[in-house]
Amino acid sequence: MKDFGGKLAVITGGGTGMGRALARQLVAEGCDVATCDVLDDNLAETRALCEQEAPQGRVITTHHCDVSDEAEVERFRDAVVSDHGTDHIDLLFNNAGVGGGASIVEGDREDWERTFNICWYGVYYNTRAFMPLLVASQDAHLINTSSVNGFWATLGPQSSHTAYSAAKFAVKGFSEALITDLANNAPHVKVSVVMPGHIGTSIAINSGRILNGRQADELSDDDIVATRKRWASLGMVNEDTTDEQIRVLVGEMGRRFRDDAPTTAEQAASIILDGVREERWRILVGNDAHRLDELVREDPEGAYTPEFMVRLRETGEWGLG
């Protein structure tokens, strides 16, 4: 698929970040877009931006959908079919995700499972729902967003990251299995798995809103206790750090994650779309993703040791964890 003009793309998690950037770049190339999110204010902004930038005659629709709920996903699919008057789609970007559910030992089970369900079942449910519409296209492509945490299940030896990593490993394995499945049963449908490194998105800001309905300055006492414990283990706070200082730090870290990233959401979207054009099944996004991939392959047994983290930081490509 070298040209996106006249195609119909479905994008989950289109309210901010890579989802919004994908929507904007696709409509600018003459593609119709249907996108969903659970944060309606962000979604409305995405739609307004796309409508300003889209060539005349292009159709942009936005839909409220919790991708972890199969019934909502099926309603989203039905709305896309109705609103676009179509019997097929050409591109499906399973992009929606949140960060959370750090520890299965000490973390909150509800947050853990909510994170896993959005990041994994969101991909699975949408693939199930839209697969017949992809098959009905003459030339279709399925793009699933995993992460570097789909091949390296941590942010460092002192940072538990189990729900997100488990989900992203599932997305990567599912996508790789689909290479053979689609080649045998729907060879005109291609698949790619996207593995971004640190991309400048609002995932750190939005995750709290999605998981517990709270902004950084609205953290509960339990949130503060959990954050204090984790950050103390990393040497980021001490016993003199106040609860209010922790709230400020949480907000500041979310903004820094978005604004100080080595790769912008717009750059990431361009890399992803280039990978689709080239029909690459494996799309690493960012120099940090490429370097981490190399290091893990060189020393898989040592990938979760403090020494590995030292080597990773020495590359100058890793600023998190």
Looking at the structure, do residues 84 and 184 belong to the same domain, yes or no?
yes
Residues linked to residue 92 through DSSP beta bridges, in sequence order = 10, 142
pLDDT of residue 321: 36
* Domain, as residue range, for 116: 8-201+263-314
| 319 falls within a domain | no
Q: Give the torsion through C-alpha atoms of 255, 33, 63, 193, to 10 deg.
A: -60
Shared domain for 185 and 212, answered yes or no, is no
* One domain, residues 183 and 250: no
Residues 76 and 216 in one domain: no
On whether both 235 and 114 belong to a single domain, the answer is: no
By residue count, the chain amounts to: 321
Task: Produce one character per residue of 101-121: b if its CB has 16 or more CB atoms within 10 Å, e if not.
Answer: bbbeeebbeebbebbbbbbbb
Q: Do 43 and 71 belong to one domain?
A: yes
* Boundary of a domain, candidates 260, 281, 297: 260
Q: How many domains does the chain have?
A: 2
Is residue 297 domain-shared with residue 207, that is, in the same domain?
no
pLDDT of res. 219? 65
Instruction: Single out the residue in 260, 280, 301 at which a domain terminates.
Output: 260
Is 1 a domain residue? no
Which has the closest alpha carbon to 142: 293, 278, 320, 11?
Answer: 11
pLDDT score at 67: 98
Domain presence at residue 3: no
Q: Which residue, 260, 290, 306, sits at the end of a domain? A: 260
321 within some domain: no
This prediction's pTM: 0.90
Asked whether residue 219 falls in the same domain as residue 288, the answer is no
Q: Does 61 map to a domain?
A: yes
Nearest to residue 260, comparing CAs of 183, 199, 170, 186? 199
Averaged in consecutive runs of 10 residues, what is the pLDDT profile of the chain (321 residues)?
Answer: 95 97 97 97 97 93 98 98 98 95 88 96 98 98 98 89 96 98 98 95 71 60 72 74 82 76 95 98 97 97 95 82 36
The verdict on residue 16 lying in a domain is yes
125 and 145 belong to one structural domain: yes
**Domain contains 2:** no
Q: DSSP labels for 181-227?
A: HHHHH-TTEEEEEEEE-SEE-SHHHHHHHHHHS--GGG--HHHHHHH
β-strands 32-37, 60-64 pairing: parallel
Are 72 and 208 in the same domain?
no
Same domain, residue pair 176 and 220:
no
Q: pLDDT tens digits for 184-222?
A: 999 999 999 999 999 988 777 776 666 666 555 566 777
pLDDT digits (tens, 9 = 90+) for 133-148: 999 999 999 999 999 9
- We report the CATH number of the domain holding residue 75 as 3.40.50.720
Q: What is the pLDDT of residue 75?
A: 98
Is residue 77 located within the same domain as residue 182? Answer: yes
Question: For residue 291, is it within any domain?
Answer: yes
